[in-house]
Structure 1
């Protein structure tokens, strides 16, 4: 989710404090700023997309960092308000910080909640990057002036019921995909992700003994649309890619990728594709490693957001 949406969620959550939802209220302000603060890792973008995508949703989204961010924000706010309940503002600011990582985990990108103990991303993958239902619930909490206990309970229940319904939609999508590919392939794994744009559609990556299949399932009619079909690469090609700096980066960046080998002008080219995100008739993120005929690395590139965008990666020779 974008920082503004996170801020709206934080502002809405502060309504449960019982205080008026307003930027003149340190509880509301702390919760809203806290909900945006883990995206402070955007400063890494000053060093380019390669560094930014490496660190995005990393340490700044982890449990230890959330406490640190909440503390810094609370101390900062205390300088601007004469009447200030330090512990109370800290608690609600921390809740705002936690909400950020929580909602990031609910979408398909995930977040490294337990850094520095592990670099593995936690990911549930049931919400789109922007979810209109969550926005509507937040606006009700922010803009309804006469807030009753029934309203608070109703919105909380609506939120949890909505999450359960999205989880059930994901399970149904997985069942449809498994049934569709059950007869023609030996299915090893099925990954279901929320579509980037369409609310009623879910993206899938099916790994089989022979192919990786990428497509989308429409829950309204149960139809499968297969976008791409890739042959499983040779183990040697996968290992070659993994041993490069680009390969190590790409494995950390995405858990689901495809390696494609080709030969171009006496060079061996290994191209890797992040299979998770498909937009405007192409996958969003790619990587390329070029070798000479003796399998020495000539060049490596990271292609974030578009295949034509080339970021050189230094390899140890």
Structure 2
């Protein structure tokens, strides 16, 4: 989820913590727990700083080790230790319990996005992404804001947040049902589809579609059960040429391949320079595919420019490639 949603989730969880007598009956513990749930709801996303290094590192590691099983155990301990030094009279056991719940909930809800997490590490490096909730879901965010407003105007925080969570549980169930219906409609539209990716958008009934058959890639959108296929590309395997093999070893291209489950490729020659481009088919926007990996190589198959990330125009891509040389 986005940062704003994680923040309101942390505050809401602090309200639910009032159901714990050890928290509700001790003002210092209450303050520490609310701080712990807010910080705990943000802690796993500390790896966002990797973006300051470069996109390749960010794509490979964001929501990776910081969202893993060891991290879910370590984050609450670290946060409880720091807050315990600040709020020395707080009940540390209950502070740890609620902080642990905040960290766990952060990782858990991220699983429902298209990006997903490596939540099963160290047992598996597989990305777990259920793709039923958009990274920012206005209904989830708005529901939290409404609940927090009721709390601010004096309603019982425990019952208010408990009601919020019951409503959101059924909302998630509905999202799974809608996603299943969309997948069924895609199978009817593309009977020979072998792989179907249905990803949410911020609009409840609109979903992004990317599908693979033996011979083609398909890209489209679903509006309820109405399926619109916008693009159909011939499906060809990656060539085994020295050029492609050299490009795949580049850090930007390798990061893209590790993250993207469905993409097509292009090779072109510009002024004696070869350009290898991989294009993620999940994120079509205004007739453009913004998430790409590009490597430019000379005739000796040496990478001289490369980039991976979100680009919404060819001019911006050239700027990024030129910058990568500096």
TM more than 0.5: yes
2:84 paired with 1:78: yes
Q: CA deviation at 1:151?
A: 4.6
TM-score under structure 2 normalisation?
0.84
Shift in alpha-carbon separation, 1:13–1:141, aligned structure 2, 3 A:
farther
Query: What number of residue pairs does the alignment pair up?
Result: 307
Which structure has more relative contact order (CA 8 Å, sep 6+)? It is 2
In the aligned structure 1, how far is the partner of 2:171 from the partner of 2:155?
A: 24
Question: Does the CA-based 8 Å contact 2:69-2:122 persist in structure 1?
Answer: no
Aligned counterpart, 2:231: 228
SS of the residue 1:261 aligns to? strand
Give the Cα–Cα distance (whole angstroms) in 2 for the partners of residues 198 and 237 of structure 1: 41
Distance change (3 Å), C-alpha of 1:153 and 1:77: closer
Q: 1:299 aligns with which of 304, 309, 322?
A: 304
Q: Any idea what the Cα deviations from partners look like across 1:100-121, whole Å, max 9, x if unmatched? A: 1111111110011122343221
Is the 8 Å Cα contact of residues 264 and 278 (structure 2) preserved in structure 1?
Answer: yes
Q: 1:101 to 1:149 in 2, by over 3 A?
A: closer
> Residues 1-317 of structure 1 correspond to what in structure 2 (within 5 A)?
1-18=1-18, 25-143=31-149, 144=151, 145-147=154-156, 151=160, 153-182=162-191, 186-195=192-201, 197-219=202-224, 222-236=225-239, 240=244, 243-245=248-250, 246-292=252-298, 296-306=301-311, 308-309=316-317, 310=320
Q: Tell me: CA distance 1:300–1:249, structure 2 relative to 1, closer, same or farther (3 Å).
A: farther
Q: CA offset at residue 32 of structure 1?
A: 1.1
Give me the whole-angstrom Cα distance separating, in 1, the residues matched to 2:145 and 2:296: 51
- In 2: Cα distance, 1:244 partner to 1:165 partner: 42
Offset at residue 59 of structure 1 (A): 0.7
Give the unaligned 5+ runs of structure 1.
Answer: none
Distance 1:148 1:263, change over 3 A: closer
**Cα 1:273–1:234 shift into 2, 3 Å:** same
Give the stretch that moved more between structures: 302-311 or 62-71: 302-311
3-state SS in 2 of match to 1:79: helix
Normalising by structure 1, we get a TM-score of 0.86
Bigger proportion of residues as helix: 2
Distance change (3 Å), C-alpha of 1:10 and 1:213: same
Query: Offset at 1:293?
Result: 5.0
**1:230 Cα deviation (Å)?**
1.9
Unaligned runs of 5+ in 2: none
CA contact (8 A) 1:10 1:99 kept: no
1:51 to 1:88, Cα distance in 2 relative to 1, 3 A: same
Q: C-alpha distance in 1, partners of 2:135/2:281? A: 17
RMSD between aligned residues: 2.8
1:298 and 1:218 map into 2 onto residues whose CA distance is 42
Residues 149 and 3 of structure 1: CA distance in aligned 2, closer, same or farther (over 3 Å): closer
Structure 2 vs 1, CA of residues 211 and 16 (structure 1 numbering), >3 Å: closer, same or farther?
A: same
TM-aligned CA deviation for residue 313 of structure 1: 7.4
